[in-house]
């Protein structure tokens, strides 16, 4: 019986099997679960408790999916710890052997990694020039270390401080100033959690103040953005139009804001900051020095609120018009009959167009839309004019649908004829197999004759210009389809050939050299021009056809005797 990745993750998390997945890129052996050859999760027993050790952080798309499955299968109340501190550890083999032994030495080593990770982050304050260092600061790894010690009883953080000497810190963790880490751990153990004090206690007095000085410009810019956001200006500094939500409207009475629509659902809609512009740093400093910053902020916020609500009213009105236009298009029968399995939409199967019931809808039909100008004009009409508008549009739509059906049926007929012709060709070629092989043995002249007779369809790649009499294509007449075909797969109707033969034959008889710069010779049935006629070779698009081939076709068609 087969299995899926969800089975593997569930069976590992609940240890319902000893192994599963074998040769797949997602498997488990005992208490270790693997993405490819990397352990992404391990179950250990410590202090009579089951603990899940997780290899977290971003990895490849496939491994990320494996992580999601494995971690999601773990019971919600289970005890979980990250062994990679938020980063992904490639090629990690897990702790211990197949059963995943996790002794006290390894437990204490993991606690130390948590503490070192926090120290490495605090160390960034010495050189950092970005305010994100402060914004992203967290004591989560210290808290995880404390929780791990409480669960496993392997040590305590106070005992760790006492026994963790400077030489060990420097040697095994590549920390050049181990006394700083010890000062940080001592401060945390003493209950200090304030970021500013921790930075100075760890790195030295004044380090945080220097960091603030280095990031003064970035702080000022962030403060300016925050103020503009509170004022309700459009979000700035982005390459795309990003809107934030400065106001949540929960008005219960339409009188509370008269510019809003009376519909309560609309009143509860969120208004986005759409007022262009904003205050710069100098403006904020000017108002602050004058002592009117708060006053100006209140006035501007009030003005922008009104403008944002007006924009929202316009936006909602436009959306309602678009929705109403779509309903009208469906009512007319311009849309609504197209089905989509992708979007789980099932259209209606028939529609009454002014008394004509049409039920031939198919994938070849395209929906039509009214222009917004048409819809606006429709809304201004009286009832009789609107009814007449709908009748006219329904007649127009019915004619389009019928034309699309005719074109589709014509296409189907051509496809069927083409298949019949293909089968007939195969039948004839099978009957004349010996004849074809004999002609091919004659060389180029035999191949040309086979093409003219319709027994081969080309395959002349690599043939030189001499094979095509100096050009690059041959012609043959197909009586069944009433057209002349080229060895490149293009065709021209008999009527078009008769018109073009008169022109080309005149050029041949007069020894004329023609270029499209002189005049235009355009096909009336296809989108191409004759660009040149020189040395009895006509060039049209990618085709270069010698006069002898055109003469052959003309003689077959009876244009010449």
Residues 517-549, buried b or exposed e (16+ Cβ, 10 A)? Answer: eeeebebeeeeeebebbeebbbbbeebbbbbeb
Closest C-alpha to 67, from 35, 43, 38, 93 = 35
pLDDT computed for residue 204 by the predictor: 95
Strand partners, 233: 275
Tokens found for residue 26: 């997602």
pLDDT computed for residue 246 by the predictor: 41
Closest C-alpha to 231, from 198, 280, 266, 268 = 280
Q: Is the pLDDT of residue 407 over 50?
A: yes
User: Which sequence spans correspond to the domains of the chain?
Assistant: 5-102, 106-214, 216-327, 333-431, 437-557
Alpha helices in 255-370 (DSSP H): 264-267, 281-290, 293-332
pLDDT in tens, 52-104: 999 999 888 999 999 999 999 999 999 999 999 989 999 999 998 656 678 99
Question: Tokens 């012709």 — which residue?
Answer: 421
242 band by pLDDT with thresholds 50, 70 and 90: very low
pLDDT in tens, 317-365: 898 999 999 999 999 999 998 776 665 667 888 999 999 999 999 888 9
State what percent of residues in the chain have pLDDT above 90: 66
502 band by pLDDT with thresholds 50, 70 and 90: very high
pLDDT computed for residue 226 by the predictor: 85
414-to-306, 458, 477, 488, 523 alpha-carbon distances in Å: 63, 21, 18, 19, 22
**Residues 20/28, Cβ–Cβ less than 8 Å:** yes
pLDDT in tens, 195-206: 999 999 999 999
Q: Is the pLDDT of residue 270 over 70?
A: no
């Amino acid at each position: 019986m087969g299995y899926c990745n969800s089975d593997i993750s569930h069976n590992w998390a609940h240890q319902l099997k000893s192994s599963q997945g074998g040769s797949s890129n997602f498997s488990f052996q005992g208490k270790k679960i693997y993405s490819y050859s990397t352990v992404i999760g391990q179950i250990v027993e410590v202090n009579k408790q089951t603990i899940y050790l997780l290899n977290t952080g971003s990895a490849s798309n496939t491994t990320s999916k494996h992580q999601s499955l494995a971690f999601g299968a773990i019971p919600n109340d289970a005890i979980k710890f990250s062994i990679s501190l938020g980063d992904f550890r490639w090629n990690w083999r897990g702790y211990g052997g197949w059963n995943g032994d996790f002794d006290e030495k390894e437990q204490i080593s993991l606690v130390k990694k948590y503490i070192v990770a926090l120290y490495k982050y605090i160390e960034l304050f010495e050189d950092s020039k970005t305010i994100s260092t402060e914004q992203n600061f967290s004591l989560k790894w210290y808290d995880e270390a404390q929780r791990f010690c409480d669960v496993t009883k392997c040590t305590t953080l106070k005992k760790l401080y006492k026994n963790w000497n400077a030489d060990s810190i420097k040697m095994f963790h590549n920390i050049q100033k181990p006394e700083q880490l010890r000062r940080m751990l001592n401060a945390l153990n003493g209950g200090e959690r304030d970021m500013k004090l921790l930075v100075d206690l760890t790195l030295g007095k004044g380090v945080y103040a220097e960091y603030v000085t280095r990031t003064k410009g970035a702080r000022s810019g962030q403060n300016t953005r925050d103020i503009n956001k509170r004022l309700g200006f459009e979000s700035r500094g982005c390459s795309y139009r990003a809107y934030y939500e400065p106001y949540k409207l929960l008005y219960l009475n339409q009188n509370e804001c008269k510019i809003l629509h009376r519909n309560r659902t609309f009143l509860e809609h969120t208004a986005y900051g759409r007022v262009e512009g904003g205050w710069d740093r100098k403006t904020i400093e000017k108002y602050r020095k004058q002592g009117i910053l708060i006053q100006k902020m209140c006035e501007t916020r009030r003005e922008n609120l009104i403008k944002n609500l007006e924009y929202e009213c316009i936006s909602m009105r436009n959306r309602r018009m678009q929705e109403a236009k779509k309903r009208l298009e469906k009512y007319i029968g311009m849309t609504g009959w197209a089905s989509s399995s992708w979007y789980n939409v099932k259209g209606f199967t028939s529609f009454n167009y002014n008394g004509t019931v049409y039920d031939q809808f198919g994938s070849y039909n395209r929906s039509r839309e009214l222009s917004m100008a048409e819809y606006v004009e429709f809304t201004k009409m009286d009832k009789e004019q609107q009814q007449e508008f709908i009748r006219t549009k329904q007649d127009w739509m019915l004619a389009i649908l019928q034309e699309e059906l005719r074109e589709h049926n014509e296409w189907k007929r051509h496809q069927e004829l083409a298949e019949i012709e293909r089968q007939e060709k195969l039948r004839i070629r099978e009957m004349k197999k010996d004849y074809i092989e004999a002609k091919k043995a004659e060389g180029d002249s035999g191949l040309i004759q086979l093409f003219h007779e319709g027994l081969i369809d080309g395959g002349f790649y690599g043939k030189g210009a001499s094979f095509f009499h100096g050009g690059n294509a041959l012609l043959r007449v197909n009586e069944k389809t009433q057209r002349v075909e080229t060895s490149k797969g293009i065709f021209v109707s008999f009527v078009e050939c008769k018109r073009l033969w008169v022109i080309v034959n005149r050029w041949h008889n007069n020894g004329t050299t023609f270029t499209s710069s002189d005049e235009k010779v355009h096909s009336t049935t296809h989108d191409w021009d004759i660009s040149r006629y020189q040395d009895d070779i006509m060039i049209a698009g990618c085709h270069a056809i010698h006069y002898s081939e055109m003469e052959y076709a003309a003689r077959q068609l009876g244009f010449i005797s």
